[in-house]
Amino acid sequence: MVSIIICTLGSNSIHNALKSLISQLKENDEIIIVKPTYLPFEYDHNKVRIVNSKKGLAAQRNTGLKNRFNDIVFFLDDDVIVDDGAVEELKNHYKENLFSLGCEFGVKNNVKSSFIHRIFSKFFMLTNNNGDGCVKLSSLPSFCKNTKNQKRIYCLRGFMMSFHFGRIQSEEYFDNFFDKYWWGDDFEFSMRIGKKGPLYKIPKSMIYHEGNSSVKLTSEAIKKIIFNLNYIQNKYNISQLFKFWSILGLLIYKNYLVWKKY
């Protein structure tokens, strides 16, 4: 039994996401759509519940957790399309891997970064979307690239991460610090769970993420990312050297974007 939690700010893409999911649901599976209180949204289906939340992605995800009926939770963005059979594959994963605390699928439209960007990210220990699934010394994630075989990883992508809360020994919620700006709440949470037990990349099913190829960082967004990263690094007592080095890399990239704009 799975509780699928979709947090939304009203994107029209959510209808495609729901269409790809509803036919896969079995008895006692459910979809919980979490929206800000001010947002009008309706969806008439006996497997879909709509709950209101205060503003902020971490707050929305926590509201979903508090309203779920099942131990297996699948967090999805509202702009994804899920392969047929993915929900059943999720259940099978937890049946076959009795110690697994979480997992993610492959990404159909995973965008490969340029060579320069990959070198820059590696040099300054910044986020990598085609990496090995580990957490860097800077505390930033190296999200796992698509694999042919199941692989243990240590951080999950926020737009499609699953956890088995029946196996997590303590009550865990997303850090409300990230309500101010969403960046980092997902990998910080998965990194925290990954310290308690194994997380996995499972390649049998895939997710198409509409927003994956359209996200463009701005200099203003990088300022907020630096603020959130500093919080994460302090929370996990990251070495001052690694803190300085990764934030320096972000500042260089921010100034590059400003220069490129003008």
Enter the tokens of residue 146. 């698509």
- 56 by Cβ neighbours in 10 Å (0-12 / 13-18 / 19+) ranks as buried
Of all residues in the chain, what percent are helix, strand and coil, respectively (each to 5)? Answer: 35, 25, 40
Enter the tokens of residue 14. 């959510």
Residue with the larger pLDDT of the pair 75 and 43: 75
77-132 pLDDT per residue, tens = 999 999 999 999 999 999 999 999 999 999 998 777 778 888 999 999 999 988 99
| For residue 4, pLDDT beyond 90 | yes
Q: Which of 109, 137, 135 is CA-nearest to residue 212?
A: 109
What is the C-alpha to C-alpha distance for residues 8 and 37, in angstroms, rounded to an integer? 11
68-78 pLDDT per residue, tens = 999 999 999 99
192-232 pLDDT per residue, tens = 999 999 999 998 889 999 876 555 678 888 999 999 999 99
| For residue 186, pLDDT beyond 80 | yes
| For residue 187, pLDDT beyond 90 | yes
Cite the residue boundaries of each domain of the chain with CATH code 3.90.550.10.
1-110+147-214
Check: CB of residue 18 under 8 Å from CB of residue 32: no
| For residue 47, pLDDT beyond 60 | yes
User: What is the pTM for the complete model shown?
Assistant: 0.93
What is the C-alpha to C-alpha distance for residues 150 and 86, in angstroms, rounded to an integer? 15
What is the C-alpha to C-alpha distance for residues 159 and 259, in angstroms, rounded to an integer? 31
Give residue 110's region: left, alpha or beta (phi > 0; psi -120 to 50): beta
Share of the chain above pLDDT 90, in %: 76
The class that CATH gives domain 1-110+147-214 is alpha beta
Residue with the larger pLDDT of the pair 110 and 164: 164
